């Protein structure tokens, strides 16, 4: 196994634990145990727990961006349908996860924004990056007359991501898909509606 493979293994194992338990609540020791990497090797791969956390965030966002790119930029489908499929993809994903964990970017934003400026700055850029994924399909849906022409597309993109973050938080606590299904319904039947 190369150094890069080992590093990836630590990041993947750490990401899973942090997703469930939070960043501050996860110890380096348990990350190494979960990844099967010998004790003491953490600081060979990462400068600090903070450095590790920032790389875990990159790992989380890669997951979101690859699904977003595959669905939202699929020009074979009408733009509104792409937006709906993307939304349904997440509902199905969290169904498969039994309504646990929520959005790792949302969780770590909530936890770290006020206590670590490096995390906050990075996460602020990522929240914008997530919203930006919606701009192209929303513009195309507007051009096709599928959604309201009066919406500011950039503002709407940000609002959609923010709605989902709130809905995922509620899903975690009520342990039901209802908040996600309600969010989907309001976005398509009220927010975007012509």
The tokens of 150 are what? 């009066």
The yes or no reply on residue 78 touching its own copies (CB under 8 A) is: no
- Looking at the Cβ atoms of 85 and 163, the one nearer to its own copies is 163
Contacts of 181 (CB under 8 A, 6+ apart): 91
The yes or no reply on residue 146 touching its own copies (CB under 8 A) is: no
The yes or no reply on residue 166 touching its own copies (CB under 8 A) is: yes
Report the half-sphere exposure of 167 (CA within 13 A, side-chain side). Answer: 21
The yes or no reply on residue 58 touching its own copies (CB under 8 A) is: no
CB 57 within 8 A of CB 105: yes
- Looking at the Cβ atoms of 135 and 191, the one nearer to its own copies is 191
The yes or no reply on residue 143 touching its own copies (CB under 8 A) is: no
CB 154 within 8 A of CB 147: no
Label residue 139 left, alpha or beta by phi (over 0 means left) and psi (-120 to 50 means alpha). Answer: alpha
Interface stretch with its own copies, choices 40-48, 61-69, 71-79, 103-111 (CB under 8 A): 103-111
The yes or no reply on residue 111 touching its own copies (CB under 8 A) is: yes
Distances 157 to 14, 138, 161, 184, 189 between C-alpha atoms, Å: 30, 8, 7, 14, 16
The yes or no reply on residue 74 touching its own copies (CB under 8 A) is: no
Q: What does the binding site for its own copies look like in residue numbers (CB under 8 A)?
A: 20-22, 24-25, 100-102, 106-107, 109-111, 113-115, 120, 123-124, 127-128, 155-156, 158-159, 161-167, 169-170, 172-175, 178-179, 182-183, 185-186, 190-191, 193
């Amino acid at each position: 196994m190369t150094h890069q493979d080992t590093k990836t293994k630590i990041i993947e194992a750490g990401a899973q634990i942090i997703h469930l338990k939070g960043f501050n609540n996860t110890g380096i020791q348990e990350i190494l145990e979960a990844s099967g990497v010998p004790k003491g090797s953490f600081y060979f791969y990462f400068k600090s727990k903070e450095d590790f956390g920032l790389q875990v965030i990159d790992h989380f966002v890669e997951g979101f961006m690859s699904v977003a790119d595959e669905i939202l930029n699929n020009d074979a489908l009408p733009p509104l349908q792409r937006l709906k499929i993307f939304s349904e993809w997440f509902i199905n994903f969290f169904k498969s996860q039994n309504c646990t964990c929520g959005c790792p970017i949302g969780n770590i934003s909530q936890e770290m924004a006020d206590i670590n400026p490096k995390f906050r700055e990075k996460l602020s850029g990522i929240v914008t990056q997530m919203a930006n994924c919606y701009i192209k399909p929303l513009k195309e849906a507007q051009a096709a007359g599928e959604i309201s022409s009066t919406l500011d597309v950039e503002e709407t993109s940000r609002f959609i991501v923010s709605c989902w973050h709130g809905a995922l938080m509620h899903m975690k606590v009520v342990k039901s898909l209802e908040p996600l299904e309600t969010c989907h319904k309001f976005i398509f039947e009220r927010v975007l509606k012509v």
